[in-house]
Amino acid sequence: MGERGPGGLARRNALGEGRLGVCILGCTGSIGRQALDVCRQHADKLKVVALAAGSDARGLVRISREFGVTDLALAHGERATGDALSGLPQGTRLAYGEGAVEDLTLLPDVDAVIVAIVGAAAIGPTLAALKAGKRVALANKECLVAAGSLVVGAAGPGQILPVDSEHSAIFQCLQGEPEGALSRIWLTCSGGPFRGFDRERLSGVTPDEALAHPTWSMGPKITVDSATLMNKGLEVIEATWLFDADVSQVTVLVHPQSAIHSMVEFSDGSVKAQLGPQDMRIPIQYALSHPKRWGAPAESVDWRAQGPLEFSAPDLETFRCLGLAIEACRVGGTLPCAMNAANEVANLAFREGRIRLTDIDVVIEAVMDATAPETVSDLDHVLAVDERARRQAAVCVSKLRA
């Protein structure tokens, strides 16, 4: 990315009125809704100018009315009609399809794009935003996991700002540090709702149980990824791209209290940790405010009342997804893309009750074994690998179900 980690944008504010023009992709999801909270709190600094949702037309309309946004996109589903579109602001332009989502990022009033779309569908819009010179507040994991070389290659210095609490923490710890000083990233992990389970006990977990995360409020796909620790595996891969680190420099650390969002160890043995409330609005806001800090969107922690902090190593024998993701990162090329696609298919199959939680890593491993890693060439190449891996994963799911 030219410099270690993201920084501030040099481009002029497109609105020309002292406010940052914000486009939110995935505005009806968990991260999107929390991003809107930040925009409400800092309406003097931020202006929502474009919105995209997956298929929730009513939610998109409701948000557009509140913020007076006239540039909208729905990525999936048939064209919404009737009551779903009643009350749209005058002059609204509503477009459909994944191409329409990309088009929003190119609007001249857009300064910053919050990428809160789940899955590989975010890769195209992210690349479009980067090539257009926009600040990208990246909440999507799959962009860097499946197409890291393309995304980082398209980014100029300071364009990508991490929204994940862990990567935001790492980024903050690296501020002011010289190039080459990073020795190790300690990537913290709550351990999910099944910390301490063995493999047999994990196999009996229901989708409802897996969707009840003990710490964070997230969308269903990411919540299940957290239960399997795949979420942390994806974050390991992200960290290598965001901070120009080798996978051997990223160590996952189970920390159930989630008070420390991550730590960075430097070449002299010093360690910096970033702590704070368990509130995703803080990293979302920092991705928009950097290099400045604005008023807090959440109540501060009373550290006098904070109990002991625990740390341990993850159980890679029980939670095999984490080890598979790390292995995919070590091999590189198209293997992380195939691994990610297989996980998306298996994750959905579990949420739909078609396979067990412990079958997810079985599907992923089968697809990884069937994948011959190649050097990523372009987006079409990534999408072809993604599609092939999804087909292979679907076959595995069918066999497991039978």
Q: What is the pLDDT of residue 120?
A: 83
What does pTM read for this prediction? 0.91
- Residue holding tokens 């700002």? 161
Mean pLDDT of 134-158: 95
Mean pLDDT of 324-339: 98
Instruction: Let me know how long the chain is.
Output: 402
Mean pLDDT of 167-186: 96
Q: What is the pLDDT of residue 319?
A: 97
At residue 402, does pLDDT exceed 80? no
At residue 134, does pLDDT exceed 80? yes
Q: What is the pLDDT of residue 7?
A: 37
Task: Report the C-alpha gap between 51 and 225 in whole angstroms.
Answer: 26
At residue 246, does pLDDT exceed 50? yes
185, β-bridge pairs: 250, 264
Q: What is the pLDDT of residue 233?
A: 97
At residue 77, does pLDDT exceed 90? no
Task: Report the C-alpha gap between 122 and 138 in whole angstroms.
Answer: 10
At residue 10, does pLDDT exceed 50? no
At residue 53, does pLDDT exceed 80? yes
Q: For 192-231, what is each residue's pLDDT tens digit?
A: 899 999 999 999 999 999 988 655 556 789 899 999 999 9
At residue 235, does pLDDT exceed 60? yes
Q: Are strands 112-115 and 135-138 parallel, antiparallel or unpaired?
A: parallel
- Residue holding tokens 């409020």? 217
292-299: Cβ within 8 A, 24+ apart: 294/42, 294/45, 295/41, 295/42, 297/37, 297/38, 297/41
At residue 173, does pLDDT exceed 60? yes
Domains of the chain and any CATH numbers: 20-162 (3.40.50.720), 164-279+301-316 (no CATH), 332-402 (1.10.1740.10)
> Residue 340 in contact with residue 146, Cβ under 8 Å?
yes
Mean pLDDT of 242-255: 97
Q: What is the pLDDT of residue 1?
A: 37
Q: What is the pLDDT of residue 205?
A: 95
Distances (CA, A) of 395 to 173, 204, 321, 366: 44, 22, 19, 10
Task: Report the C-alpha gap between 72 and 84 in whole angstroms.
Answer: 14
> Residue 271 in contact with residue 177, Cβ under 8 Å?
no
pLDDT tier at 82, thresholds 50, 70, 90? low
Percent of the chain at pLDDT exceeding 90: 85
Average pLDDT, the chain: 92
Closest CA to 54 of 75, 71, 34: 75
CB within 8 Å of 384: residues ≥ 6 apart: none
At residue 395, does pLDDT exceed 90? yes
> Residue 245 in contact with residue 251, Cβ under 8 Å?
no
pLDDT tier at 84, thresholds 50, 70, 90? low
CB within 8 Å of 346: residues ≥ 6 apart: 355, 359, 360, 363, 364, 393, 396, 397
Mean pLDDT of 155-171: 96
CB within 8 Å of 200: residues ≥ 6 apart: none
Q: For 100-110, what is each residue's pLDDT tens digit?
A: 999 999 999 99
Mean pLDDT of 362-366: 98
Q: What is the pLDDT of residue 87?
A: 74
Mean pLDDT of 377-397: 96
At residue 3, does pLDDT exceed 60? no
